[in-house]
Structure 1
Amino acid sequence: MTADGVASNSAASNPPEPAPVPLVNIANILTVSRLALVPVFLVALFWAGGHDTLWRWIATGVFIIASITDRIDGDLARKRGLVTDFGKVADPIADKALTGAALVGLSLLGDLSWWITWVIIGREIAVTLLRFWVIRHGVIAASHGGKIKTLLQAIAIGLYLLPLGGWADLLRWAVMGVALIATVGTGVDYVVRALRLRAAGQAKVNA
């Protein structure tokens, strides 16, 4: 075999490593922008006492824009190979910050019962703690149900933000009720998956 053949085989067996993903990319920029929109949203929500029609529309618009970036940045990161460790950490933080700010803000204004806010926030905190609890055994990937839960929460919050008047109360309650069922249901699913992952990890250690 010639030297060229040896070099060719060596190159084939050791392909070049892929270029590292740059930290500053469109997906991460969208994630950071969503986080930056949280204080803008809160200012709009509480401006003029919190129940001014114009400012409620503005707050709703900011919330919708921020929520849309959540879907876009994830799709871009996967399709363009822009997944980074920073994005994995910052994306869920931005999501929880936006949702939590909206829920707490609505409850402070008396538009949403506090128990609903605590159920949703409590679930998010519990799932985050579960992830850390089993992280040495593996990562609990986001489920399809979790994505539906996030969408339902966003729609429900949007309905509460909109200055639609009392006629929309039944619609708000119905959508929020479905969102709560999805929130609790996916939370239970995360607990089951975490317990299975931990048991599997401990079984490997003991084997």
Structure 2
Amino acid sequence: MRIEVTPLPGSPPLLNAANLLTLLRLALVPVFIAFLLTHDGQHTGWRLAATAVFAVAALTDRFDGQIARRRGLVTRFGTVADPIADKALMGAALIGLSALGELSWWVTIVIAVRELGVTALRFWVLRHGVIAASRGGKLKTLVQSLAIGLYVLPLTALGPDSVVDWTRWWLMALAVALTVITGADYVLRALRLRASGLAAARTVSRAG
């Protein structure tokens, strides 16, 4: 017996262009890590390849959301999977750089704790609604991407006092600050969403 599942009228299909870009970003994470860690991160060619893969993956994060909104392809799966794919990419890059001794572990831990916490919050309030990405969150992601991209590039030959080294250090410092600030904002938004959801549920229960 063959069962065919068709989407409800007006509901975008699960496998749409936006969601496929999100899945592509997830698939690129292990490829990026493999390139980054090859030859202990000391081979210029592999580092350039890792940078290229990271750039492509980061670009999918920019375009999948735009495509979903412009073409009416926003789905609950995409709303949840998109930030997870983003966090997987950023987390893998930070852990890889710290494992290579090129980025302090405390930076990776602070960002990882925030990202995992926000993901947990999204699932915690999922039955009450979806926490959309804020402007601050998008800015945080952009700054993180730029900082990580500069750290992944094979720039050690320029020396520790080069302009690029100084630039990426300050970008990463800004990324950490935005990570903490936007993390606190997500906590407040999650608490408000859950409170409003519970209030609405109690109202419906009384009415019934």
CA distance, structure 2, for counterparts of residue 29 and residue 88 of structure 1? 13
Give the residue type in structure 1 aligned to 2:176: L
Determine which of 164, 184, 192 is the counterpart of 1:188.
184
CA distance, structure 2, for counterparts of residue 132 and residue 204 of structure 1? 19
Could you list the per-position Cα deviations for residues 98-129 of structure 1 after superposition, in whole angstroms to 9, with x for gaps in the alignment? 11110110011001111100100100111122
Tell me the secondary structure at the aligned position of residue 68 of structure 1: helix
C-alpha change, 1:114 and 1:35, in structure 2 (3 Å) is same
Q: CA deviation at 1:47?
A: 1.3
CA distance, structure 2, for counterparts of residue 84 and residue 206 of structure 1? 27
What's the TM-score, normalizing by structure 2? 0.84
Structure 1 unmatched ranges of 5 or more: 1-16
Moved more, 142-151 or 46-55: 46-55
CA distance, structure 2, for counterparts of residue 24 and residue 141 of structure 1? 20
Q: Report the equivalent of 1:13.
A: none
Give the residue type in structure 1 aligned to 2:22: T
Q: Report the equivalent of 1:104.
A: 95
Please, what is the CA RMSD of the aligned residues?
A: 1.8
Tell me the secondary structure at the aligned position of residue 44 of structure 1: helix
CA distance, structure 1, for counterparts of residue 182 and residue 11 of structure 2? 34
Q: CA deviation at 1:19?
A: 4.2
Give the residue type in structure 2 aligned to 1:175: L
CA distance, structure 2, for counterparts of residue 94 and residue 21 of structure 1? 20
Determine which of 15, 31, 51 is the counterpart of 1:60.
51
Give the residue type in structure 1 aligned to 2:35: A
Give the residue type in structure 2 aligned to 1:86: F
Say yes or no: does 1:127 pair with 2:118. yes
CA distance, structure 1, for counterparts of residue 92 and residue 131 of structure 2? 25
CA distance, structure 2, for counterparts of residue 137 and residue 206 of structure 1? 13
CA distance, structure 1, for counterparts of residue 126 and residue 31 of structure 2? 34
Structure 2 unmatched ranges of 5 or more: 1-7, 204-208
CA distance, structure 1, for counterparts of residue 169 and residue 189 of structure 2? 30
CA distance, structure 2, for counterparts of residue 125 and residue 28 of structure 1? 21
Q: CA deviation at 1:206?
A: 5.3
Q: CA deviation at 1:76?
A: 0.7
Query: How many residues are paired up?
Result: 191
C-alpha change, 1:102 and 1:75, in structure 2 (3 Å) is same
Give the residue type in structure 2 aligned to 1:194: A
What's the TM-score, normalizing by structure 1? 0.85
Determine which of 137, 143, 150 is the counterpart of 1:152.
143
8 Å CA contact retained: 2:84, 2:119: no
